C-alpha cells in the first residue's frame, strides 16, 4: 500500500468512502480518471487522488490550478439511486460536508459560496466539481471532485486577490492525508443522511454558512447578469434572489459576486 493511502486509511472511520484509493502521481484530471473507472464498474466510495493535475477542471469550464505540492486533488465515485433532477442537491451535500470537515480540522468557520466554493477570510481555499453520468432519468454514477489548496502561495497573478490556502489559517502544516481523511469521514456522514431522506439539514447548513446570506449580489448566468438580494437556497439546491425589479427568481447555475451586505450596509 502506498504511503499516502496508508496514512489516510489510518484515520478513516467510514464503512464505504475511501476503502479503495487509487493514488496517482500525475493525471489530467482526477474527475476524468474517476469517470473512466466508474464506467468500468468501480464501486461506490472508490477514491482517486493525484499529486498533480495537468488539466484540472473547475466549474463552468474553468481551469483548476493544480501544481505539484501538498494540495488535495481528490475525486469520489458515487452510485446514488437518485433521479437526475436531484443531482444539484448532492452537489450541495458535498459542499456542506467539506465545509464542516475543514471547519473541524482548522477550528475556524469555513464559509460556502453558492454553489460550493469553500471560503475563508473572503478567499477561496477550495472548490467542488460534481459530474454525473445519467441514463434516461436515472443516475448511473456521480463523481465528486474536490480541490483544496493546502499550502500554495504561488498562485497565478489573476488568482492573487481571490485565492487562499489552508496554510493561511493554520500555523502548522497539515498533511494531505489528514485533509483527505477528514473530508471522507464527514462526506460519508452527510451523504448517508442525504440518501436516507434528510435534505433540510443541508439547507440549514447553507443558511448558517453562506457567505452571500442577506447580500446584494450580481449573478451571472449564461450570457445574462442579474442584481438581487440573496434569499436562500431552494429545494433543488438553487439560489433564490429577490431581483431589483421585485421579482423572486430561482437560479440553478451561475456565479454570484457580492455587491454589499444589504442587511448591514
Ligand atoms: C471549482 O471551484 O470551480 C471546482 C474546482 C474543483 C477542482 C477539483 S480538483 C479534483 C477534481 N479534478 C478536477 O479536475 N477538478 C476537481
Give CA–CA dist 114/215, Å, rounded: 12
Does residue 95 contact residue 185 with C-beta atoms inside 8 Å?
no
Rounded to the nearest 10 degrees, the angle between the axes of helix 87-106 and helix 176-195 is 140
| Ligand 1 site-directed mutation target among 58, 91, 112, most atoms within 8 Å of CB | 58
Q: Which positions ≥6 away from 148 have C-beta within 8 Å? A: 71, 72, 98, 102, 118, 125, 126, 166, 179, 183
Summarised one tens digit per residue, pLDDT across range 163-191 is 999 998 888 889 999 999 999 999 999 99
Rounded to the nearest 10 degrees, the angle between the axes of helix 200-209 and helix 176-195 is 130
Q: Quick count: other Cβ atoms within 10 Å of Cβ 143? A: 23
| Ligand 1 site-directed mutation target among 38, 74, 94, 147, most atoms within 8 Å of CB | 147
Give the DSSP per-residue string, 209-226. Answer: HBTTTT-EEEEEETTEEE
Q: What is the mean pLDDT of residues 231-245?
A: 92
Give CA–CA dist 113/121, Å, rounded: 12
Residues with C-beta less than 6 Å from any ligand 1 atom: 29-31, 53, 56-59, 62, 64, 73-75, 117, 127-129, 145-147
Give CA–CA dist 118/111, Å, rounded: 6
Give the C-alpha distances (Å, rounded to integers) separating 99 from 17, 103, 135, 142, 193: 17, 6, 31, 20, 16
pLDDT of residue 265 exceeding 60, the answer is no
Summarised one tens digit per residue, pLDDT across range 74-133 is 999 999 999 888 888 999 999 999 999 999 999 999 999 999 999 999 999 999 999 999
Q: What is the mean pLDDT of residues 232-241?
A: 91
Structure confidence at residue 135 (pLDDT): 86
Q: What is the mean pLDDT of the chain?
A: 93
- What letter does residue 62 receive in the DSSP assignment? -
Q: What is the mean pLDDT of residues 189-218?
A: 94
Phi, psi of 55 (to 5 degrees): -140, 55
pLDDT of residue 264 exceeding 60, the answer is no
Q: Which positions ≥6 away from 162 have C-beta within 8 Å? A: 123, 124
pTM (2 decimals)? 0.95
Summarised one tens digit per residue, pLDDT across range 44-58 is 999 999 999 999 999
Give CA–CA dist 181/183, Å, rounded: 5
Give CA–CA dist 15/257, Å, rounded: 38
Amino acid at each position: 500500500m502506498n504511503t499516502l493511502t496508508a496514512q489516510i486509511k489510518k484515520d478513516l472511520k467510514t464503512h464505504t468512502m475511501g476503502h479503495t484509493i487509487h493514488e496517482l502521481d500525475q493525471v489530467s484530471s482526477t474527475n476524468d480518471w474517476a469517470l473512466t473507472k466508474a464506467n468500468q464498474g468501480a464501486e461506490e466510495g472508490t477514491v482517486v487522488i493525484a499529486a498533480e493535475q495537468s488539466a484540472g477542471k473547475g466549474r463552468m469550464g474553468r481551469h483548476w490550478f493544480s501544481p505539484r505540492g501538498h494540495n488535495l486533488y481528490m475525486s469520489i465515485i458515487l452510485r446514488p439511486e437518485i433521479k437526475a433532477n436531484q443531482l444539484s442537491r448532492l452537489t450541495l451535500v458535498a459542499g456542506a460536508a467539506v465545509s464542516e470537515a475543514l471547519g473541524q480540522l482548522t477550528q475556524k468557520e469555513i464559509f460556502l459560496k453558492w454553489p460550493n466554493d469553500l471560503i475563508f477570510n473572503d478567499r477561496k481555499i477550495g472548490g467542488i466539481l460534481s459530474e454525473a453520468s445519467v441514463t434516461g432519468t436515472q443516475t448511473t454514477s456521480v463523481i465528486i471532485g474536490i480541490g483544496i489548496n493546502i499550502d500554495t502561495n504561488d498562485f497565478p497573478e489573476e488568482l492573487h486577490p481571490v485565492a487562499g490556502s489552508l496554510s493561511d489559517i493554520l500555523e502548522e502544516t497539515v498533511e494531505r492525508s489528514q485533509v483527505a481523511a477528514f473530508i471522507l469521514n464527514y462526506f460519508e456522514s452527510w451523504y448517508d443522511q442525504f440518501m436516507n431522506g434528510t435534505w433540510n439539514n443541508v439547507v440549514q447548513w447553507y443558511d448558517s454558512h453562506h457567505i452571500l446570506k442577506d447580500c446584494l449580489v450580481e449573478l451571472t448566468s449564461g450570457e445574462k447578469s442579474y442584481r438581487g438580494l440573496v434569499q436562500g437556497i431552494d429545494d433543488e439546491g438553487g439560489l433564490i434572489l429577490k431581483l431589483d425589479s421585485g421579482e423572486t427568481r430561482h437560479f440553478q447555475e451561475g456565479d454570484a459576486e457580492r455587491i454589499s451586505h444589504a442587511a448591514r450596509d
